[in-house]
């Protein structure tokens, strides 16, 4: 048996508990025909199962609403839409009528057909786990089962759930008093289930290939949700090592508590603007508490997640005002909808594309769908009436995309003025630099942009030709690749020449070693994941500018990502314990420790 299983750490924390295996396998459905006079009864059974499963999903939504909030509960709205999909149900009914099949036989046939179709469409894979779950509920119900409880965790012990894939719906309905850790063979840091595990505070490892085969039920596991490691049957010495690791991180947390209220300033006295990235409403308070100087990236996709309808202009404006009020006196940068790729919500109908990450997404969708884009722009203008609110456009590759947006903003500003609605006439409009194309025309984009913000996640994906969601290639997906370092340097020089601010808002800014590289390149604006703010600030205040510049100079001349990383570790190691800055170390304020066997605690 494998002693150590590795995956991708997606939600930090160190926990130890027995493994609880969740196998969401489809039941064996017999090929059963029915007599012609029984066809109508089978059609009624199909509809009864739909009503039953919908009712249960509504109950789950209410339960999650009380436990996690409205954003998470909306996931079940999307699942209900899947269950009630009339096109799919009509195809099942046709099969029952024409072939005189039982409801479960016809449903299973069409379910397999749909899963195969979705598996071949990259943009639908993120929703495949939820589709799998609802179809399993339907088949269980049709075959005489309960149709709701797919698995049941014992109420007398805490466990670490191990599954092939974790759907967002499964993740949010977990009892956090019993489930203290998650392991999935599929998934990456950008999966919706990973984001939810993080927001729910459950340490999680995804992309752990072979976990189900390697981990028998009940095996004691030591899980590190940041390092992405799962230790099976840890020895007393290994548990002691884990305690030492947690203790070291705890001491760092105590050091960082004193840093939160200190200015982000280098040892040489240069101020650094540290803003926060905000994905979900509950992160607003964390960002404020961790000392964020405004919001450098306010993602807006959550406003669409799991909804059957698009959010109204007023709903969006109220949310933007809420964020701005929390950061009074600071800038709020709102990113327009970054739809497409794997992020088309239920409320938005989109065509299947062979390669959606190179297709209709982000600013392209917004400009093509004015009923989506214009209400959002009006909401931004209304929020900007008495606040420093700015608009940022994702995945820009054409100067025309910025010019068209600027024209729309002016049109909507004038429309709001004529309607007597309190709003700004316009807002500063900046672009995200996320592709080599944008890097190469940065000088032209600077002529029509108020600022640049570099999204290192997509820039790395498009430059290295590596899908950021591919668990197999996760080790090769690194912003330390020399091509990325050189592009970061180039864009900053263009921005400086044009006199516009340039910041980094991708995950790179939240990694302490990478932050040193950015500082060395000359960046003085970073937008950081809220929990990482104290650590990044500590690094800013500790590593001298000449040392950071020396590291950046070596990185620009490096031949490989390994050389860049080693250079950073060497230079930073002169001033800090590099073990505490390793990306595989848990971020401060995110540690969560579960129950260990009697007499063993971390």
Q: Measured between alpha carbons, how far is 586 from 602 in angstroms, rounded to an integer? A: 14
The candidate with the shortest Cα–Cα distance to 159, out of 5, 18, 365, 353, is: 18
Predicted local distance difference test score (pLDDT) of residue 471: 63
Residue 597's pLDDT is 38
The parts of the chain modelled with pLDDT lower than 50 are 1-2, 122-123, 147, 583-602
**Considering 56, 132, 192, 480, which one is annotated as catalytic?**
192
Catalytic entry in 56, 198, 366, 505:
505
User: For the domain bounded by 25-142, which CATH number is listed?
Assistant: 1.10.274.10
192 catalytic per annotation: yes
pTM over 0.85: no
Element (H, E) at 22: strand 14-22
SS3 482: helix
pLDDT of residue 400: 97
Say if residue 191 is exposed, middle or buried (CB neighbours under 10 Å; 0-12, 13-18, 19+). buried
How confident is the model at residue 234, as a pLDDT? Answer: 92
Topology annotation, domain 253-581: TIM Barrel (3.20.20)
Listed by start position, the domains of the chain span: 25-142, 253-581
DSSP characters for 238-261?
HHHHHHHHHHHHHHHHHHHHTTTT
pLDDT in tens, 337-349: 987 655 555 555 5
Q: What is the pLDDT of residue 600?
A: 35
pLDDT of residue 361: 80
DSSP string, 410-477: HHHHHHHHHTT----S---EEEEE-SHHHHHTHHHHHTT-S-EEE-HHHHHHHHHT--TT-GGGGGG-
Does residue 366 have an active-site annotation? no
Q: What is the pLDDT of residue 602?
A: 47
Q: What's residue 587's pLDDT? A: 35
Q: Are 25-142 and 253-581 in the same CATH fold?
A: no
């Amino acid at each position: 048996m494998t002693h150590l299983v590795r995956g991708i750490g997606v939600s930090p924390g160190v926990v130890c508990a027995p493994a609880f295996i969740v196998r969401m396998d489809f039941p064996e459905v017999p090929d059963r025909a029915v007599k012609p006079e029984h066809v109508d009864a089978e059609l009624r059974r199909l509809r009864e199962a739909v009503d039953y499963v919908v009712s249960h999903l509504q109950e789950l939504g209410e339960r999650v609403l009380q436990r996690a909030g409205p954003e998470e509960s909306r996931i079940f709205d999307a699942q209900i839409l899947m269950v009630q999909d009339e096109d799919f149900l009509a195809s099942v009914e046709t099969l029952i009528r024409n072939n005189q099949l039982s409801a479960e036989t016809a449903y299973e046939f069409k379910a397999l057909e749909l899963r195969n179709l979705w598996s071949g469409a990259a943009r639908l894979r993120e929703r495949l786990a939820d589709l799998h779950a609802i179809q399993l509920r339907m088949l269980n119900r049709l075959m005489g089962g309960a149709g709701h409880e797919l698995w049941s965790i014992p109420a007398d012990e805490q466990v670490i759930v191990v599954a092939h894939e974790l759907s967002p719906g499964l993740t949010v309905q977990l009892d956090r008093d019993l489930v203290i850790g998650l392991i999935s063979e599929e998934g990456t840091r950008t999966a919706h289930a990973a984001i939810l595990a993080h927001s729910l505070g459950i340490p999680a490892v995804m992309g752990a290939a072979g976990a189900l085969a390697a981990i028998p039920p009940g095996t004691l596991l030591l899980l590190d949700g940041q390092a992405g490691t799962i230790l099976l049957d840890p020895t007393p010495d290994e548990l002691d090592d884990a305690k030492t690791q947690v203790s070291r991180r705890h001491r760092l947390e105590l050091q960082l508590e004193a840093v939160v209220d200190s200015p982000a300033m280098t040892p040489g006295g240069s101020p650094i603007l540290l803003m926060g990235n905000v994905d979900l409403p509950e992160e607003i308070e964390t960002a404020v508490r961790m000392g964020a100087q405004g919001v450098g990236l306010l993602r807006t996709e959550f406003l669409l997640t799991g909804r059957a309808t698009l959010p109204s202009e007023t709903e969006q404006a109220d949310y933007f005002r809420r964020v701005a009020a929390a950061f009074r006196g600071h800038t709020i940068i709102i990113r327009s909808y970054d739809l497409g790729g794997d992020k088309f919500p239920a409320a938005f109908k989109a065509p299947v594309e062979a390669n959606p990450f190179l297709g209709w997404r982000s600013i392209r969708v917004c400009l093509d769908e004015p009923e989506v884009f214009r209400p959002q722009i009006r909401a931004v203008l209304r929020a900007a009436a008495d606040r420093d609110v700015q608009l940022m456009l994702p995945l820009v590759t054409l100067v025309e995309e910025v010019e068209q947006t600027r024209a729309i903003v002016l049109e909507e500003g004038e429309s709001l003025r004529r309607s007597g609605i309190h709003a700004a006439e316009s807002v500063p409009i900046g672009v995200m630099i996320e592709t080599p194309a944008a890097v190469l025309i940065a000088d032209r984009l600077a002529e029509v942009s108020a600022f640049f913000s570099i999204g290192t996640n997509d820039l790395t994906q498009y430059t290295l030709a590596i899908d950021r969601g591919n668990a197999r290639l996760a080790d090769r997906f690194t912003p330390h690749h020399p091509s990325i370092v050189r592009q970061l340097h180039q864009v900053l020089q263009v921005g400086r020449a044009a006199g516009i601010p340039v910041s980094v808002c991708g995950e790179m800014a939240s990694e302490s070693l990478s932050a040193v590289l950015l500082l060395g390149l000359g960046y003085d604006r970073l937008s950081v994941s809220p929990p990482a703010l104290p650590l990044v600030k500590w690094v800013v205040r500790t590593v001298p500018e000449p040392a950071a510049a020396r590291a950046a100079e070596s990185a620009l001349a490096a031949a490989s990502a390994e050389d860049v990383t080693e250079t950073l570790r060497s230079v930073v190691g002169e001033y800090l314990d590099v073990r505490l800055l390793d990306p595989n170390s848990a971020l401060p304020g995110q540690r969560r420790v579960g129950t260990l066997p009697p007499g063993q605690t971390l």
